[in-house]
């Protein structure tokens, strides 16, 4: 039977107490959920990066989210879902779904229902992403089966989720292995403890910044790949092979067209330091820097891994502002280590060997995802 969300839940938005009041923050008090706290794999949320003080709770009148409540992000990144493991609070990008107890529902079933729903239906394109508002969300209908059927579906999905979590842990271990081998071979490049030759990065490659035609919606629908952070976070950790969106030629004139083999580097915000090598010609927005015509003394895969090792350093040197932002001048001045090219290539051969193992795990992960979708039929 179908129900509108407003008929079976009280929908409650969170809020953000004033950032200007230092007494509200930096405590070990009440846990406060933001989008970044909602894991892509964990069902229950028990920890948050930020906490609120008693004073913040009292003076801002933020509403409590009780234990065992389903919460979901509905702004910018829609559909990140979890169940609260204890009493918590949240910001305004998180909706809490309080059961009205008008029909039998399992929180775990609702978790799966929300997590794997296509929330693009009913969402509005916003400047920074997709957004649902409370009114739209309230009117959305969901299908609820009997309590016994819910239990059966949850049991199957729990098993598949356990397998998926195991595969992800194995992939993370392989990533850690690549990082450990880098340090073993090249040392700590933050301090260059192996005394490799160094040169300004700007003398080892051409560094350019992307451009963003605005509003982007007016330039979509062409045949030129439009490279976004979301494209780079899926799949391969080294190469970017495709994009979800394309722009028209008028958009290309207002952007930056980069050639195959270029190394792109996210230069701002929470994604700062994120890097990929593109295998096609495409356009990058102003949140990317591109490194082209790389000196033959530097293997581009080695350079990518080296830049990844320096993410925290780049965050510390980025000009202060609402979010860290690295410009081309800073990156051109960065002193890049240059180990012997044969040593770099030895490392790359190791990386490619590990990647073969990762590909095997990723294929298994995809198969489990298909099984999960079939099992729930949601």
**pLDDT at residue number 165:** 66
In angstroms, the CA 17 to CA 285 distance is: 33
**pLDDT at residue number 354:** 82
What is the per-residue pLDDT across 78-110, written as a single tens digit (0 to 9) for each? 889 999 999 999 999 999 999 999 999 999 999
**pLDDT at residue number 27:** 77
Contacts of 363 (CB under 8 A, 6+ apart): none
238-262 exposure pattern, b = at least 16 Cβ within 10 A, e = fewer: bebeebebbbbeebbeebbbbeeeb
Instruction: Please indicate, yes or no, whether residues 273 and 330 belong to a single structural domain of this protein.
Output: yes
**pLDDT at residue number 333:** 95
Instruction: Please indicate, yes or no, whether residues 70 and 30 belong to a single structural domain of this protein.
Output: yes
Quick check: 66 pLDDT over 60?
yes
Instruction: Please indicate, yes or no, whether residues 180 and 131 belong to a single structural domain of this protein.
Output: no
What is the per-residue pLDDT across 170-206, written as a single tens digit (0 to 9) for each? 667 777 888 899 999 999 998 999 999 999 999 999 9
Instruction: Please indicate, yes or no, whether residues 330 and 278 belong to a single structural domain of this protein.
Output: yes
Instruction: Please indicate, yes or no, whether residues 8 and 67 belong to a single structural domain of this protein.
Output: yes
In angstroms, the CA 6 to CA 9 distance is: 5
End position of a domain, from candidates 122, 144, 166: 144
- Domain of 185, in residue numbers: 150-191+339-378
Q: Can you read off the two tokens belonging to residue 213?
A: 């035609």
Instruction: Please indicate, yes or no, whether residues 343 and 333 belong to a single structural domain of this protein.
Output: no
Instruction: Please indicate, yes or no, whether residues 166 and 135 belong to a single structural domain of this protein.
Output: no
Do 372 and 164 meet the contact criterion of CB atoms below 8 Å apart? yes
Instruction: Please indicate, yes or no, whether residues 220 and 314 belong to a single structural domain of this protein.
Output: yes
Instruction: Please indicate, yes or no, whether residues 333 and 205 belong to a single structural domain of this protein.
Output: yes
Q: Mean pLDDT throughout 237-251?
A: 91
Number of independent structural domains in the chain:
3
Q: Mean pLDDT throughout 49-70?
A: 95
Quick check: 162 pLDDT over 80?
no
63-67, 129-133, 184-188, 295-299: range with lowest mean pLDDT: 129-133
**pLDDT at residue number 164:** 63
Using a pLDDT cut of 90, give the percent of the chain over it: 58
108 compared with 323, residue with greater pLDDT: 108
Q: Burial, 273: exposed, middle or buried (Cβ in 10 Å; 0-12, 13-18, 19+)?
A: buried
End position of a domain, from candidates 144, 166, 183: 144
Helix (H) or strand (E) holding 45: strand 44-45
Q: Mean pLDDT throughout 216-230?
A: 92
In angstroms, the CA 284 to CA 229 distance is: 10
Asked whether the whole model's pTM tops 0.95, one would answer no
**pLDDT at residue number 167:** 64
Q: Is the preceding peptide bond at 215 cis, omega within 30 degrees of 0?
A: yes
What CATH number corresponds to the domain at position 310? 3.90.220.20
Do 70 and 81 meet the contact criterion of CB atoms below 8 Å apart? yes
Quick check: 146 pLDDT over 50?
yes
Instruction: Please indicate, yes or no, whether residues 204 and 301 belong to a single structural domain of this protein.
Output: yes
SS3 3: strand
**pLDDT at residue number 128:** 36
Instruction: Please indicate, yes or no, whether residues 359 and 331 belong to a single structural domain of this protein.
Output: no
94 compared with 40, residue with greater pLDDT: 94
Q: Can you read off the two tokens belonging to residue 75?
A: 């702004």
What is the per-residue pLDDT across 327-374, written as a single tens digit (0 to 9) for each? 899 999 999 999 999 999 999 999 888 877 666 656 655 665 665 555
Query: Using the 8-state DSSP alphabet, how is residue 24 labeled?
Result: G
Determine the angle formed by the axes of helices 300-309 and 341-376, rounding to 10 degrees: 70
Instruction: Please indicate, yes or no, whether residues 70 and 126 belong to a single structural domain of this protein.
Output: yes
- The confidence band for 166, taking pLDDT boundaries of 50, 70 and 90, is low
Quick check: 118 pLDDT over 80?
no
């Amino acid at each position: 039977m179908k129900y509108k969300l407003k008929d079976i839940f009280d929908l409650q938005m969170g809020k953000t107490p004033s950032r200007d009041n230092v007494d509200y923050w930096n405590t070990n008090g009440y846990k406060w959920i933001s989008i970044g706290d909602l894991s892509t794999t964990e069902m229950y949320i028990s920890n948050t990066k930020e906490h609120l003080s008693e004073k913040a709770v009292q003076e801002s009148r933020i509403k409590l989210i009780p234990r065992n409540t389903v919460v979901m992000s509905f702004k910018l990144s829609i559909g990140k879902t979890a169940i609260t493991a204890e009493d918590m609070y949240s910001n305004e990008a998180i909706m809490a779904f309080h059961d009205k107890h008008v029909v039998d529902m399992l929180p775990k079933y609702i978790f799966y229902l929300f997590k794997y729903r296509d929330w693009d239906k009913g969402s509005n394109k916003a400047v920074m992403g997709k957004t649902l508002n409370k009114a739209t969300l309230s009117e959305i209908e969901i299908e609820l089966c009997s309590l016994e059927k819910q239990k059966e579906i949850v049991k199957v999905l729990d098993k598949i989720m356990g397998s998926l979590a195991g595969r992800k842990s194995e992939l993370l271990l392989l990533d850690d292995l690549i990082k450990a081998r880098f340090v073993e071979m090249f040392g700590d490049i933050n301090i260059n403890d192996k005394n490799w030759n160094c040169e300004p990065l700007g003398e080892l490659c051409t560094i350019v910044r992307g451009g963003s035609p605005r509003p982007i919606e007016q330039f979509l629908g062409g045949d030129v790949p439009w490279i976004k952070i979301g494209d780079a976070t899926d799949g391969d950790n080294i190469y970017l092979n495709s994009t979800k969106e394309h722009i028209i030629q008028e958009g290309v004139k207002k952007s930056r067209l980069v050639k195959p083999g270029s190394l792109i580097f996210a230069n701002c915000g929470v994604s700062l330091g994120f890097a990929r090598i593109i295998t096609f010609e495409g356009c990058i927005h102003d949140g990317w820097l591109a490194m082209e015509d790389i000196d033959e003394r530097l293997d581009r895969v080695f350079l990518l891994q080296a830049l990844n090792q320096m993410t925290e350093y780049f965050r510390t040197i980025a000009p202060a502002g609402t979010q860290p932002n690295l410009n081309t001048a800073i990156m051109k001045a960065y002193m890049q280590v240059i180990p012997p090219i044969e040593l770099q290539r030895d490392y790359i051969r190791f990386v490619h060997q590990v990647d073969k193992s990762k590909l095997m795990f990723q294929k298994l992960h995809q198969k489990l995802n298909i099984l999960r979708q079939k099992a729930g039929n949601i």
